[in-house]
Amino acid sequence: MLTFFSASTRMVNSRRGITECMESALGADTSDCDLVIIHASLGHDFTELIETAGTLAPRAKVLAASCCGVVGKEGVSESMKDIAVMAIKGKEFSVAGTDGIFGHNSFEKTKAMAEDLYQQQPDTSFIYFLASGIDIANDRCIAAIESVFGKAVTIFGATSSDNMKGVVSYQAYDGHVHEHGAFLVGFADPTLEVITQATHGFVAIGDPMVVTKAEGHCIYELDGKPAWTEYTRRLGLDASHTCGDTIPVGALAEKLASETANEYGNEHILRVVTRHEGEAMLYATTCPVGTRLWLTVRDEPRIFNEMDRMVKEMDAKMGGRKPVAVFHADCLARGRFLFNRVLKEELVSRMQFPFSQNGVCPPWLGMYGFGEFARLGGENTYHNYTTALYTIYRK
């Protein structure tokens, strides 16, 4: 039976920071641990993080990903020196990883990981997926996992990020740090179940742009014009601006079917552009010709109201049970780039309180990344610009 422990800190020294987290989460005996998942900001040395965690927990699998800030049971922090961990004891899990994953090979690379996972634990019921946030077709990753485990398996997780520059992000597994890696954690504990849900609160505006030339996850033309130039023009920017300049204001919206929109609390699902190569915009999912894309604006009251609704719905589904652990992925543009510190901390407090028991927050591992995975309309779905929560319960 799996048990969960978490901690977070802000500390300049990477070795001291991860040591503090491990000891805070597990107590004096950090060796009694089987899996460690680390989220850390770019100011840390990821090799030092995983080496130190491996020394403290020598039998544990150690995984890590970069982010633009963390959320733990202690609260939220978005500095260049944040660390958060989820430590897990037990044997009912499996791990698989890969390197060299890009948009063009997302399906093949992810399917190989999923097959590895299946060989280890065929009874896996839900999967944590963490991948590079730059140049990846996330819908193809979902399809690959489902091709092995079927659509009944629940996929949750995030894509790693940098400090919102869209330049590089890190993933670590099996003792190595990668820039275009990914890993899967399969959970096969029959006593556990997971609920996933996401919400964003942005509103589409104006007339849509139409994708007139694209291949896979690369968009080359919008409305018959070079894509990057037209996209930035519609944002009121010039083409010399970077992806980091567009991310806070440049969420693109695709229209949802009405039934799915009612569940989502929004008529659109959002997408982020994390890199461009000349005029080519690297989209987060495949984007066929004819897709209509709207620009958006944030609606702050709606962000809070929809987040409150989501949390209440998730809590009600469990009939009074409290989660044994919560994984959490938030878009980096919803952090300090979207709210000031007071509003951001209020948002996190309002999402954690309903899941707490006697004022104590459950083990919690959250990150500010480039994208989020959660179910929508009964299907595994990739999201951008959302708060996505993954609550794990004992049956």
* Cα 69 to Cα 114: distance, rounded to the nearest angstrom: 28
**Matching residue, tokens 């140049």:** 135
> What does the pLDDT read at residue 21?
97
Q: What is the mean pLDDT of residues 130-141?
A: 96
Whole-model pTM: value is 0.94
> What does the pLDDT read at residue 342?
54
Poorest-pLDDT segment among 13-22, 163-172, 193-202: 163-172
65, β-bridge pairs:
39, 171
- Sequence-separated contacts (24+) of 31-34 with Cβ below 8 Å: 31/56, 31/57, 31/58, 31/59, 32/57, 32/89, 33/5, 33/57, 33/59, 33/60, 33/87, 33/88, 33/89, 34/59, 34/60, 34/61, 34/88, 34/89, 34/90, 34/91, 34/93
Q: pLDDT band at residue 299, thresholds of 50, 70 and 90?
A: confident
* Cα 219 to Cα 282: distance, rounded to the nearest angstrom: 7
Q: Which residues contact 313 (CB under 8 A, 6 or more apart)?
A: 197
* Cα 26 to Cα 31: distance, rounded to the nearest angstrom: 9
Backbone angles phi, psi at 349, to 5 degrees: -60, -40
Q: Is the pLDDT of residue 340 over 60?
A: no
> What does the pLDDT read at residue 335?
63
- Cβ atoms of 37 and 365 closer than 8 Å: yes
Task: Encode pLDDT of 341-381 as tens digits.
Answer: 556 777 888 899 999 998 899 999 999 999 999 999 999 99
Computed on alpha carbons and rounded to an integer, the radius of gyration of the chain in Å comes to 20
Average pLDDT, the chain: 94
Poorest-pLDDT segment among 93-102, 122-131, 163-172, 336-345: 336-345
> What does the pLDDT read at residue 350?
87
Percentage helix, strand, coil for the chain under 3-state DSSP, each rounded to 5? 30, 40, 35
Question: Pick from 227, 207, 335, 211: which is nearest to 281 by CA?
Answer: 227
Q: What percent of the chain has pLDDT over 90?
A: 84
Q: Is the pLDDT of residue 75 over 60?
A: yes
Q: What is the mean pLDDT of residues 290-318?
A: 91
Q: pLDDT band at residue 166, thresholds of 50, 70 and 90?
A: confident
> What does the pLDDT read at residue 204?
96
* Cα 136 to Cα 217: distance, rounded to the nearest angstrom: 8
> What does the pLDDT read at residue 318?
87
92 secondary structure, DSSP code: S
Neighbours of 212 (CB within 10 A): 17
Q: pLDDT band at residue 336, thresholds of 50, 70 and 90?
A: low
